[in-house]
């Protein structure tokens, strides 16, 4: 499962629109299609859900289920919104995934702001208490300073 999870993380990251949003709404079928196309990994739908659940349990991603209540009383489920946590972005940086440093920098900027939309701060940081945010932000800032070197102007 390790190779599949790594490939799935990279695929999820590539599905995120780096400039517009910090999450993806790619369906499991689309993820499976991209895994087959880019990583030559043919997996079943159930295995994809197992891998996503495992990534979520490890604290690498966070998910929000999206459900629509139709006017006729039926319920329609949409694909989940998936975002990387700080821990997940640090792992992507250690795997040298292109754009992961910039994504972590944007995530920290977002965390320092007052935005209350998805993904929520406790889910992103893995912090149980609000007092842990500053420490996690400092750690991520120091990682960015070590790794991120801006281009000379």
Residue 29 has pLDDT above 80, yes or no: yes
**Percent of the chain residues topping a pLDDT of 70:** 73
Its sign, for the CA torsion 96, 54, 119, 82, is positive
User: Would the pTM of this model clear 0.75, i.e. be above it?
Assistant: no
Instruction: State residue 86's pLDDT score.
Output: 86
CB within 8 Å of 58: residues ≥ 6 apart: 87
CATH 3.40.50.1110 fits 2-147, yes or no: no
**Per-residue pLDDT tens over the stretch 55-114:** 999 989 988 888 888 888 888 888 888 988 888 988 998 898 888 888 888 887 777 776
Tens-place pLDDT, residues 40-50:
999 999 999 99
């Amino acid at each position: 499962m390790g190779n599949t999870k790594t490939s799935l993380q990279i695929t999820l990251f590539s599905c995120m629109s780096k400039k517009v949003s910090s999450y993806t709404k790619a369906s499991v079928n689309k993820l499976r299609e991209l895994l087959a196309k880019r990583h030559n990994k043919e997996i079943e739908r159930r295995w994809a859900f197992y891998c996503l659940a495992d990534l979520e349990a490890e604290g690498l991603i966070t998910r929000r289920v999206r459900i629509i209540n139709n006017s006729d009383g039926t319920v329609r489920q949409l694909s989940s919104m998936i975002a990387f946590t700080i821990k997940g972005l640090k792992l992507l940086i250690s795997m040298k995934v292109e754009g992961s440093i910039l994504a972590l920098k944007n995530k920290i900027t977002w965390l320092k702001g007052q935005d209350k939309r998805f993904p929520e701060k406790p889910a992103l940081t893995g912090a149980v208490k609000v007092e842990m945010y500053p420490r996690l932000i400092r750690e991520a800032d120091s990682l960015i300073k070590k790794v991120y070197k801006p281009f000379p102007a």
